[in-house]
Chain A
Amino acid sequence: MDDWTLVQDFLNNRSERAFMRLYRAKTPHLYRMALRLTQDEYQSEELVQEMWIVATRKLPTFQWKSELKTWLIGILINLYRSMRREAEKKIIAKAEQLSELETASQSWNESDSDLEKAIALLPPGYRQAIILHDIEGYKHREIAEILDISEGTSKSQLFYARKAIREYLNDGKKKQNGNA
């Protein structure tokens, strides 16, 4: 069933069954992305649930100017950024806890992949850029729209993200060679 049919089916009757079809078709991809963004299972679950709440409210006004997936990713990332802003506000009062929380928030990593680890260590802005560009395959123009930033900022964040990842991977290689 294509995206349009899934959405129309849901909007026609708003039944649980129609929603579940839509949910099951789209959520595995969004959940994976949420895990990469937050590096935390609990936050990812919260994020994806919140995304669906917002999406089901806004679906009747969705104009299909982008793919459904892109639209959902946009909601997901904006919620993630709001979540971070809220967390940062709370943290300002307890600045000394920041590093602890950052460490805790990087608890999810089911993969042994060095690349996944390197992505996990990136600052959030860089992480968003590299996930959207190098993993999801979006263009800078699309990323700029999703993140509400300029194309220049997107390019710059991608540049520094790749640089940081290469440094991380090269350091890993050097260590391996040193141990050999």
Chain B
Amino acid sequence: MAMREDKLSKKEKKRFDQLPREKEPPKKMEKFLLHRLDEEGLLTRKSKKQVYVKWAISVAASLLLFVSGIFYERLNSSDIVLIEPSKGYMLLLHEDNSFVPAEPKEMFYEYKNWMESTFERGVKITGQELKDEAVLVNQDGQSEVKNHERTTGYFILEAKTLGEAIKVAQENPHIKYGGTIEVKQYMVR
């Protein structure tokens, strides 16, 4: 490097300019911080939100089970959603840092409406929210999943075609909030 005591040389400046300026913080930090802000009263409506808002999918999933019971009862006199394997599809809900949830109440009704409209057109569906924590198990043992992208929930549904399953996925509010949905068809042998 050329040396000039009072000024960086072009080469030196270039090296500094090439240093990365950003790094994504760990996801857990976000959670801890929100918890602290909540505790210190720096955010509005907290503890309820934590349960009700943040995990709107969970609430929605519970509702879905409830709703599915009613709908299925009308159709089959049963409170269990049974999926015909040859028509089975799984929707895997993924999120990364671009996912920005809305207000809890707003999300709740959106998911509720989505589920109801799905049932109303005869698509049987059920689902569940998943926790962020995940473990990878392989021949070497196990390790924590530290992927930037998280799988935060799933739905299973019965559809006539892949196109119908995709249409259901496209209408899910998860997409609108910046999430992605992976559509997978059951393998039947």
Residues of A at under 8 Å CB distance from B?
13-17, 19-21, 23-24, 27-29, 31-32, 35, 45, 48-49, 52-53, 56-57, 111, 113, 115-116, 134-135, 159, 162-163, 166, 169-170
Contacts and interface: CB of A to CB of B under 8 A. Distances in A.
Interface string B44-56: 1010010001100
Nearest to B46: A16
Contacts, number: 87
Chain B facing A: main interface SS: loop
Interface string B71-109: 000000000000000000000000001001111000000
A17 B101 contact: yes
A56 B24 CA distance: 20
B34 A17 contact: no
Interface residues of B, number: 36
A28 B43 contact: no
B23 A14 contact: no
Contacts of A35: 23
Contacts of B34: 16, 19-20
B189 interface: no
Contacts of A21: 100
B22 A53 contact: no
B120 interface: no
Interface of B: 1, 3, 5-6, 8, 13, 15-16, 19-26, 29-30, 32-34, 36-37, 40, 42-44, 46, 49, 53-54, 97, 100-103
Contacts of A52: 33, 37
A15 to B, nearest CB: 6
Contact of B23 (A15, A31, A159): A31
Contact of B21 (A19, A32, A49, A134): A32
Contacts of B13: 134
Given A15-B43, A27-B25, A28-B23, 17 more contacts: A14-B42, A14-B43, A14-B44, A16-B49, A16-B54, A16-B101, A17-B101, A17-B103, A23-B33, A28-B25, A31-B22, A32-B23, A35-B23, A45-B25, A53-B37, A135-B16, A159-B6
